[in-house]
Chains A and B, each alone.
Chain A
Amino acid sequence: MTVARTFLIAAVMLAVGAGRADARPAAHGWYAEVDLGAAGALGDAATSIAVGPALELRGGAHLTSWCAVGLDLGVSSHEGTVPAPPSGEWLQLVRGAVELRLGGMLGPIGLYLHGQAGAGYISSTLLERVAIQDPGEHLSLAVGGGASMTYQLANRHYAIGVGGDFTLMPGFASTQIVQGHLLLRYTY
């Protein structure tokens, strides 16, 4: 009987104390983000560029609650699966871009779309073997876009989430790179 009374009192107190929860607060302003995932190529290039690990750093500022601009610097490492020889060789794909991000929060969930333009760099001449690179070519224009979904943590500065990017590099035989990643975002 004593136990039942204790539960009843606790339930009444919870019912009285509980109200409508506020939206989880999130900081706005300057932000930094680290993405960790995997990247690979689409189309014909997929036979020459294997899926590999990808690391990306983003930073920028919110102009409004729904619009942000920033910089994106990413590197991914891939095995070059070109006809042997050579075989088992790896290359690094480095990308740098300016980014425009649009989106907003629905409660603790953030949904964003972004577009970007910049440059892509391949660290070796391995892909000359399959004519993705021209002789001596290391740099290309890189344009693309992507989306991300975040979950705002109790700490107003931190959010975690998932995202994806698509990059087109016309200078490298129009190679298309897709990337999926987990992200951690810190907003000041």
Chain B
Amino acid sequence: MTPRIVVLGVGNLLLSDEGVGVRCVERLERDHALPAGVRAIDGGTSTHELLEDLEDLDALVIVDAIAGAHASGTLVRLEGDHVPSTFSNTLSPHQHGINDLLAKLALLGRAPKKVVLFGVAPESLALGLTLSPRVEAALADVCARVVDEVRALTG
């Protein structure tokens, strides 16, 4: 059976690099053919509304900006229980929402079998509709890594 996998890009497009997850989904849809069973979703700053799309997945791959001491443009990959721990130390408000969402899925008994987070360290969170040059430059690599991940997951 084809596995059910979602690539979820989250972020606020108004706050430059904060929107990197959404920019990644846009790029995936434009430039990449994802394997059968894999859906890319622009999660924006939604929370509740995403619940139905994320239920009973074989794998959930989240792409988002991530806080930490990394140089801007650095890509970080986290898996399993490390994902909600990262989100509980929030960089931005919608991350609180993603953490909530994962907890709700667990309480409903419909959590994804596997959760992977690709986090991109931002350079700027200022008001602005475009990514900073460093994060923009990292985007192609982020997309390639996401595609590799879902290919490995779909076998």
A and B associate in one complex: no
